[in-house]
Amino acid sequence: MDKKELPLILERLGIQKQSLGCSTGSHWFGSGDLLESYSPIDGTKLGSVTTGTVEDYEYLQDAMEVAFIEFRQLPAPKRGELVRQFGDKLRQYKSDLGQLVSLEMGKSLQEGLGEVQEMIDICDFATGLSRQLHGFTMHSERPHHRMYEQYHPLGVVGVISAFNFPVAVWSWNVAIAWVCGNVTLWKPSEKAPLCSIACQKLIGEVLHENGLPEGISCLINGDAAVGQWIAEDQRIPLVSATGSTHMGKSVAATVGARLGKSLLELGGNNALIISEHADLNIALRAAVFGAVGTCGQRCTSTRRLIVHQKNYAEVVSRLQKSYAQLRIGNPLDENNHVGPLIDLDAVNQYTEALSAIEAHGAEWIVPGAVLKGDNYPGGCYVQPAIAAVDPSHPMLQKETFAPILYVVQYTGEVENAIALQNEVRQGLSSALMSQNLQESERFLSHWGSDCGIANINIGTSGAEIGGAFGGEKETGGGRESGSDAWKAYMRRQTNTINFSNDLPLAQGISFDI
């Protein structure tokens, strides 16, 4: 893709150089400060977005309140039809939106297009789900009584998303929330505001074409203060937040103080174990992609490589050869493997981590560095680094959102590696590379991996939308996307119907008057 195509891409997506950042669907407004969007590829300004004020926020709340009254009465399969049409709209604009994701976030063009494909996939999933929002029937202990459980929409679902997946994570939430009968309010990352404008334009078209009310899908751009408004607002029964553990703890405390629900997808200090029984060809490919894909800025990126002593020397040698072949540069050039970090703050965190690694003792397998020169404009390109560290190294406990891989050696049984994997505070994704069935089953047992995702012979990165996505411990415990994650977006109700001419009480209690 030629960056000169940017004006045409923005035009096709309905984005102006200066866009209004709040929307109820097709109505756009915003009276706050300007939020500038810069491409990490070369530092070029892509556009600016007007943020929302408290008054803008209240306008959105009024619109959502009205929309929810009508939308919740629409049969679920009809709501599924809305999501199906949104998926078709995404298919129509996949190339443009995927390119915008790459431009604004800095991930490779293939990954940008893949992120939009995730949106399409979750729309397909949610469309089918709209006919399967099932309850549960049980037998009553009282004669001529029927008991069952059913699920109802919550109301407003607030979605706070992160920069690294500027469109996909929003879609995971809203596609499910909409078929469940909820309306949604999206606060996107300040680092990717144009992506949010594009998505809201597309769903706005679908809502307009179907004569559905303003307010089903709402957007407000702004800084952390907007996220705080959402967390504090008693009118929002569920807040789904994706980001750092620090941010998630703040959201959880604020939402919990008002007894609201929070769905958290936070840090992931993920480990890949290479056992003595691993196929090293598979293992090395998984390790390298997991560590450097999206320049190490995925919540499922591989941070720790735990290698059996028998394979350690060969793994280290092959990692050095693989990293020597990495092509770092403009992610719009499909010949490159690694693009930039999101911004200069991320570069600073990367360099601080390198210093901390050295301060606590490590052997560089591949040393890190900030890359400079004509091929690396904007200052956000870095060398993916690998450090061999002792299991007690303090940096193993920290998640740095950058392409830094720690290699640790283990001996003996796979349980020793699992113990090393589990001793961090995060618990999102994990993987074991082994051709040994017993090792694999032990890794997946209840005394094995303590993560929400546990894989065998694939890496930590690259989840499919059909499974519930999320993790334990400081990852937050939330689940998004597939499986029965839809239940988080609904309230559960138990119903008992008496079709007798008497009023028997439960537990055999007698009460006569």
- Please give the positions annotated as active site: 265, 299
Cβ(182)–Cβ(156) under 8 Å? yes
Q: Which two tokens stand for residue 483?
A: 């499986």
Candidates 496, 480, 418, 404; CA nearest to 451 is 418
User: Looking at the DSSP assignment, which residues form a beta bridge with residue 439?
Assistant: none
DSSP 49-83: EEPP-HHHHHHHHHHHHHHHHHHTTS-HHHHHHHH
Residue 52 DSSP code = P
Report the first-to-last Cα separation within the chain, whole angstroms: 81
Q: Which two tokens stand for residue 158?
A: 């607030």
Cβ(442)–Cβ(448) under 8 Å? yes
State residue 228 phi and psi, 5-degree precision. -65, -40
Q: Where are the alpha helices (DSSP H) in 376-455?
A: 414-422, 437-444
Place of tokens 């307010």: 215
Cα gap 489→258, rounded to integer Å? 18
Q: 3-state DSSP call for residue 69? A: helix
